[in-house]
Amino acid sequence: MHRIAVVPGSFDPVTLGHLDVIERAAGLFDELHVLVVHNPGKTALLPIAQRVTLIEQSIREANIPGTILVTSWSVGLLVDYCTDVGASVLVKGIRSQIDVAYETPMAIVNRDLAGVETVFLLPNPAHAHVSSSLVRQVASLGGDVTPYVPAAVAKFLKPAAS
């Protein structure tokens, strides 16, 4: 059986924590789709197409092996995308109990809606404090985000003056 999994998220921008989860998930499934989804609850920093490009660059630069497709989805439910491409599993990284509380209802609803299971992966604890919202805040105030994001993202977010 050819197992397809989807790693969904805002990825605004992709962080080292995301990349770690992508690498682990790519090793577990035959095909992995990294899906950039607009989250209406969050104020965006980067356009969706830019997020896709930065994820692609980051995966390439990190030499992550496996069959990985990076794309975006803006119409309908996340599970509609899964059904369209034949994916049976969603993969999410869990850093803390807060993530568990946030992800659990979504996982149950996605299973109810379409039978799509969610697999939670524990990322490298070194990245447990890293989030896209933290990176957005540090970057918007002119700080250095190099420790938290792939090199391609750090280069893109670097203030023009430096």
Active site residues: 18, 42, 95, 132
The secondary element (H helix, E strand) that includes residue 36 is strand 31-37
Q: Note whether 17 binds ligand PNS by CB under 6 A.
A: no
* Contact map string, positions 59 to 78, toward ligand PNS, x by CB under 6 A: ------------------xx
Q: Note whether 119 binds ligand PNS by CB under 6 A.
A: no
Q: Which stretch binds ligand PNS (CB under 6 A): 8-16, 43-51, 59-67, 116-124?
A: 8-16
State both tokens at 83. Answer: 């059904």
Q: Note whether 94 binds ligand PNS by CB under 6 A.
A: no
**In the set 106, 119, 121, 128, which binds ligand PNS (CB under 6 A)?**
106
Q: Note whether 128 binds ligand PNS by CB under 6 A.
A: no
Neighbouring residues of 53: CB distance < 8 A, sequence distance ≥ 6: none
Q: Note whether 57 binds ligand PNS by CB under 6 A.
A: no
Query: Hey, how many other C-beta atoms are within 10 angstroms of the C-beta on 27?
Result: 11
C-alpha 55/C-alpha 15 separation (Å) is 9
Which of 101, 83, 99, 73 is closest to 8 using CA atoms?
73
Question: Of 37 and 121, which CB lies nearer to ligand PNS in the complex structure?
Answer: 37
Name the one residue in this structure whose structure tokens are 């920093």: 45
Q: Note whether 123 binds ligand PNS by CB under 6 A.
A: no
Q: Which stretch binds ligand PNS (CB under 6 A): 26-34, 43-51, 106-114, 116-124?
A: 106-114
State the number of binding residues for ligand PNS (CB under 6 A). 11
State both tokens at 100. Answer: 């568990």
Would you say 150 and 58 are in contact if contact means Cβ atoms under 8 Å apart? yes
